[in-house]
Structure 1
Amino acid sequence: MPSKKINPLSPKKLLLTKWTAAHPKNKRKHFLVSKVIAPDLPDEAIELVEIEAIYDKYRQTIAWRELCDSEHWIQGWV
């Protein structure tokens, strides 16, 4: 039986992906990546994304690599 490996994240494919906060605050548990923020120069790497809470539409900008930290984020809505 093949082992389950987590697919590496690609910043270009993060738009509209769903995430669950491991430690919700203010009832904000489920989030959606609402925007991938393009760098100023086209040859630079993507660093930031905007996530939006489903509960109250609160938005915040984070480094997309933070989503790889399983202590803070779980991929999908749990």
Structure 2
Amino acid sequence: MSPAKSRHLNPKKLIRSKWTSASPRNKEKHFIVTNIIQPESKDLPIDLIELEAVYSGRSFALSWRELTNTQDWLQGWR
């Protein structure tokens, strides 16, 4: 099996971007990045974002790097 394709993303530009889960659960398929979670120290790089499910409004934190895995996340709403 070939490795998942990855895409290059800038975590600072992810706010309000739209994503589709490749494996929807609980009818949660479409998501919006609602927040970039700043690290406690300004010397540390950004690692976490907050995603909100459009269907349920449920929010959760996720490493922005996980969005680069095309087997799990598709950019835009599909």
What's the TM-score, normalizing by structure 2?
Answer: 0.90
Residue 75 of structure 1 is matched in structure 2 by 75
Q: Percent identity?
A: 45
Residue 40 of structure 1 is matched in structure 2 by 40
Residue 12 of structure 2 is matched in structure 1 by 12
| One-letter amino acid of the structure 1 residue matched with residue 71 of structure 2 | E
| One-letter amino acid of the structure 2 residue matched with residue 62 of structure 1 | L
Residue 59 of structure 2 is matched in structure 1 by 59
Residue 29 of structure 1 is matched in structure 2 by 29
Structure 2 runs not aligned, ≥5 long: 1-5
| One-letter amino acid of the structure 1 residue matched with residue 49 of structure 2 | V
Q: CA RMSD in A?
A: 1.2
Structure 1 runs not aligned, ≥5 long: 1-5
| One-letter amino acid of the structure 2 residue matched with residue 16 of structure 1 | R
Moved over 4 A (4+): none
What's the TM-score, normalizing by structure 1?
Answer: 0.90
Structure number with bigger Rg: 1
Count of residues in correspondence between the two structures: 73
Q: CA deviation at 1:66?
A: 0.2
